[in-house]
Structure 1
Amino acid sequence: MKDDQTRSYRKRYETHTDKPGTYDPNNLLSSLINTLNLKNDAALSRALEVAPPVISKIRHGRLPVGASLLIRMQEVSNMSIQQLRTLMGDRRRKFRISDKQYKPGRENSGPQA
């Protein structure tokens, strides 16, 4: 099941880059470590104020770089969001967000009277 999820994740993000196969958050994480003069992923997780497993999951393709983490990276590194996105291979000019992401379903709407 996890392999299917990982493949689905990679497929979703590879289809959003100009050249499929170029999405690589490892480049982003390594660049941040170098820019911030840090020693390793643990130091990066402390600098970004996230748990170390978050960095590991991003590095291994099990978790995407979310918007809040990208903003935190921008705050810590003083690099633009565009620069950070370019480092990880995301070269989209526009983002499209599904309406489904913001519409609560019946199960999320709370108790029914």
Structure 2
Amino acid sequence: MTDTTLQTAQAAQAAYDPDRLFDTLRQRLQLHSDKALAKLLQIAPPLLARLRQSGVPVSGSLLMRIHDATGIAIDELRRVLGDRRQRLRLSFANVNRAALPA
């Protein structure tokens, strides 16, 4: 493999690609459909379809949910996703605010 080909392959691997993340999850978990993956992650199948199409970004809270459901380290999930952000931003829109410390 030439240096140019290797660099192109590495750049493609590092690119943000939610599709690659969900394909990898399905393969590792031996799931036969996105519907089964959505059920495992406790998200709606249409949301998973929008995430795959990059219509909705994969949030830090979703990565934590994936980690909780699969046991795969968040760093590995981010690497497969191609997420190169320095920090993850968590969405507290669905958090019960009464459960948070004052």
Q: Same fold (TM over 0.5)?
A: yes
Counterpart Cα distance in 1 of 2:52 and 2:74: 19
Q: Residue in 1 aligned with 2:54?
A: 61
CA-CA distance at 1:90 after TM superposition: 1.3
Structure 2: 5+ residue stretches without partners: 1-10, 93-102
Counterpart Cα distance in 1 of 2:70 and 2:26: 10
Counterpart Cα distance in 1 of 2:88 and 2:42: 28
Larger Cα-atom Rg: 1
Runs of 4+ in 1 over 4 A off after TM superposition: none
Q: Measured at CA, do residues 80 and 96 of structure 1 come closer, stay the same or move farther in structure 2, by a change above 3 Å?
A: closer
Q: Residue in 2 aligned with 1:28?
A: 21
CA RMSD in angstroms, aligned pairs only: 2.4
User: TM-score by structure 1 length?
Assistant: 0.63
User: TM-score by structure 2 length?
Assistant: 0.69
Matched, 1:87 2:80: yes
Secondary structure of the residue aligned to 1:62 is: coil
Identity %: 35
Structure 1: 5+ residue stretches without partners: 1-18, 103-113
Count how many residue pairs are aligned between Structure 1 and Structure 2: 80
